[in-house]
Amino acid sequence: MAIFISDNVTGACKEVMEALQKANTGSVSSYGNDKWSINLKKKFSDIFEKDIEVFPTTSGVASNSLALSTLSPVFGKIYCHEISHINTDECGAPEFFTGGAKLIPLKGENGKITAKNFEENIRGAGNVHLPQPSVVSLTQSCETGTVYQLDEISSISKIAHDHGMKVHMDGARFANAIASLNVSPAEMTWKSGVDVLSFGGTKNGCLIAEAVVFFKKELVGNFPFLQKRAGQLVSKMRFISAQLEAYLTDDVWLRNAKNANKMAEKLSKGLNSFKNIKLMYPTQANEVFVNLPNELVKNLNENGYDVNHDELDGKAARFVAAWNTETKDIDNFLKTIEKIN
């Protein structure tokens, strides 16, 4: 039975598993000096249409925290949405790895920062008594299942750069946002002003594979040392790099994301058809947020569906479609609701 509490509950797609099997032969150089890790730079550069620097990691928290620690001084301000993952769900890791930089949570409808609100909250530059504006972090797709449009990213990026700040993108569900907008990776990142991307693969078909992508080489700075210090310079790096290489080959990542988004749209429409279920945010990627009656939540849990009715603002249950979600999974779930509702 498929459950929809997260896309982290899924396994890995066959292309990734096959790549791991091929990488699991012989003895090769360690700590990223293997052919898979070395080739990864070209693979990412081709995908993003730019000569980039890429560093594999094992988790999104690690990617975000290390990226931000490179971009922000210890006395910096990092602007983010109030329900962003870095602010609510990373156990203080960004603050810890930056050495004390201050997260500045901003409000915004549907989980998105607005350029106006962002600019109105930029203050303190040059004042020795205050943390200094350093970075703005955007989650794409957002924690609410919505996506930033390209013009929204560009507007926020321009404001940040005009104030001498850097732009970070938390792309845990990057592929889902690309599939939703039907744009190129380049258009949604560096062409829209993004400086550094936390690139996610684990939720969309990899076993455990993330990466930090620098679109400006001069921003890399001490990242390799910070990566090692954080325990993210994996000795058998080939097993992470091989996953990412397979993931990005023949559009596997986009195929997976398109399926997840398509299934989420079907799930969203199905849930919204019940009179006592209310859609809380627009469904634009692979996450669906709805308000459910408490009795229905109880009944769903008793029927084997793991439902958390306290997501984000405490008013919604989250249902997530994944790369391997099938139509029958959605149909069976909706039939269960119809039966017990």
The pLDDT of residue 315: 76
Contact between 152 and 105 under an 8 Å Cβ cutoff? The reply is no
Is 237 inside any structural domain?
A: yes
CA geometry: angle at 163 spanning 139 and 170, to 5°?
15
Do 213 and 295 reside in the same domain of the chain? no
Yes or no: say if 139 and 172 are a contact pair by the CB < 8 Å rule: yes
Residues 213 and 265 in one domain: no
Specify the CATH number for the domain of residue 49: 3.40.640.10
334 part of a folded domain: yes
Torsion of CA 39, 191, 256, 171, to 10 degrees: 90
242 shares its domain with 281: no
Instruction: Note whether residue 113 is domain-resident.
Output: yes
Q: Which residues of 205-223 are buried (b: 16+ CB within 10 A; e: fewer)?
A: bbeebbbbbbbeeeeeeeb
Count of structural domains, the chain: 2
Range of the domain at 326: 254-340
Q: What is the pLDDT along the chain (341 residues), one digit of tens a residue?
A: 778 999 999 999 999 999 999 999 999 999 999 999 999 999 999 999 999 999 999 999 999 999 999 999 999 999 999 999 999 999 999 999 999 999 999 999 999 999 999 999 999 999 999 999 999 999 999 999 999 999 999 999 999 999 999 999 999 999 999 999 999 999 999 999 999 999 999 999 999 999 999 999 999 999 999 999 999 999 999 999 999 999 999 999 999 999 999 999 999 999 999 999 999 999 999 999 999 998 999 999 999 998 877 766 667 899 999 999 999 999 999 999 999 98
Which two tokens mark 185?
A: 């990776």
Task: Evaluate whether 69 touches 221 at the Cβ level (below 8 Å).
Answer: no
Q: Looking at the structure, do residues 134 and 72 belong to the same domain, yes or no?
A: yes
Which pLDDT does position 312 carry in this prediction? 63
Q: Could you tell me the two tokens for 59?
A: 């988790």
Do 199 and 81 lie in one domain? The reply is yes
Which pair of tokens denotes residue 44?
Answer: 């990412």
Q: Is residue 96 part of a domain?
A: yes
Same domain flag for 287 and 192: no
Q: Which residues, other chains included, contact 309 with Cβ-Cβ below 8 Å and sequence gap of 6+?
A: 292, 294, 297, 316, 317
Among 194, 227, 251, which residue terminates a domain?
Answer: 251
Residues 177, 315, single domain; the answer is no
**Domain end residue (candidates: 251, 274, 305):** 251
What residues are paired with 170 via a beta bridge? 139, 198
Same domain, 188 and 335: no
**169-183 pLDDT per residue, tens:** 999 999 999 999 999
* Residue 1 forms part of a structural domain: no
Q: Is residue 9 part of a domain?
A: no
Q: Are residues 143 and 261 in the same domain?
A: no
In this structure, is residue 6 part of a structural domain? no
32 and 167 part of one domain: yes
**Quick check: is 295 in a domain?**
yes
- For Cα atoms 33, 240, 243, give the angle at the middle one, nearest 5 degrees: 120
Question: Which residues, including other chains, have CB under 8 Å from residue 149's CB and lie 6 or more apart?
Answer: 181
Task: Determine the residue type at 324.
Answer: N
* Token code pair at residue 202: 């684990």
Q: Are residues 40 and 66 in the same domain?
A: yes
Residue pair 227/66 in contact (Cβ under 8 Å)? The answer is yes
